[in-house]
Structure 1
Amino acid sequence: MKFYVRLIIFLVINFGALYIGTILMNDGPRTDWYTNLNQAPWTPPGWVFGFAWTTVMICFSIFMAKLTEAKDNKLILFLFAIQFILNVSWNYVFFNQHNISLGMVNLIVLLMLIVVMTFKYKPQVKIYYIFILPYLIWLIVANSLNGYILFNN
Structure 2
Amino acid sequence: MQRFVVLAVFLLLVVGGGLLLGGLSVVGDWYGNLAKPAFNPPPWVFGPVWTVLYVFIAIAGWLVWQRDRSGWAMRLWAVQLLLNFLWTPVFFGAHRIGLALVIILLTVVAILSFVVSAWRKHRAAAVLFLPYAAWVAFASVLNAAIFLLN
Taking structure 1 as the reference length, what is the TM-score of the superposition? 0.87
- Separation (CA, whole Å) in 1 of partners of 2:63 and 2:111: 16
The number of residues matched between the two structures is 150
Runs of 4+ in 1 over 6 A off after TM superposition: none
Alpha carbons of structure 1 residues 83 and 90: separation in structure 2 relative to 1, 3 Å? same
Which of 29, 39, 43 is equivalent to 1:42? 39
Q: Which has the higher contact order (CA 8 A, sep 6+)?
A: 1
Map 1:86-97 to 2 at 5 A: 86-97=83-94
Alpha carbons of structure 1 residues 33 and 148: separation in structure 2 relative to 1, 3 Å? same
Question: Once the 2 structures are TM-superposed, how far is the Cα of residue 87 of structure 1 from its aligned partner?
Answer: 1.4
Map 1:3-152 to 2 at 5 A: 3-25=3-25, 27-28=26-27, 31-73=28-70, 75-152=72-149
Q: Residue type of the partner of 2:7?
A: L
Let me know the Cα RMSD of the aligned residues.
1.9
Contact 2:61–2:125, Cα closer than 8 Å, also in 1: no
- Separation (CA, whole Å) in 1 of partners of 2:148 and 2:8: 40
Instruction: Report the secondary structure of 1:137's partner residue.
Output: helix
Runs of 5+ unmatched residues, structure 1: none
- Separation (CA, whole Å) in 2 of partners of 1:70 and 1:59: 17
Alpha carbons of structure 1 residues 129 and 78: separation in structure 2 relative to 1, 3 Å? closer
Deviates more, 1:130-139 or 1:65-74: 65-74
Question: Once the 2 structures are TM-superposed, how far is the Cα of residue 33 of structure 1 from its aligned partner?
Answer: 1.4
Question: Once the 2 structures are TM-superposed, how far is the Cα of residue 76 of structure 1 from its aligned partner?
Answer: 4.1
Taking structure 2 as the reference length, what is the TM-score of the superposition? 0.89
| Identity percentage of aligned residues | 29
Contact 2:15–2:54, Cα closer than 8 Å, also in 1: yes
Q: Residue type of the partner of 2:21?
A: G
- Separation (CA, whole Å) in 2 of partners of 1:85 and 1:57: 13
Write out per-residue CA displacement over residues 19-51 of structure 1, whole angstroms, 9 at most, x where no aligned residue.
Answer: 3422552x12xx221111111211111121011
